[in-house]
Amino acid sequence: MTQDDIIRMAEEARVHFENFNDRYIERLEKFAELVAAAEREECAKLCEEEKALRLAEKIRARGSK
């Protein structure tokens, strides 16, 4: 996910941009990383439930790119 993607999604979610500076962008990027990691983990758990263990490993590996 690019910085532009994160900003676009934040704008779609109507995140308030009063002090739009580098520190704010860093916080948005960290938040996006946490959300993506949580979603990957949920997807990986579903794969494990279906015995698709290799797929679960591949999903989790996406977080270490």
Global confidence as pTM: 0.79
What are the pLDDT digits (tens) for 15-63? 877 766 788 888 889 999 999 999 999 999 999 999 999 999 999 999 8
- How is the chain split into domains, by residue range? 3-64
| Token digits of residue 63 | 């977080």
Give whole-number Cα distances, 55 to 1, 18, 59, in Å: 21, 41, 6
Q: Are 49 and 41 in contact (CB under 8 A)?
A: no
The Cα–Cα gap between 57 and 44 comes to 7
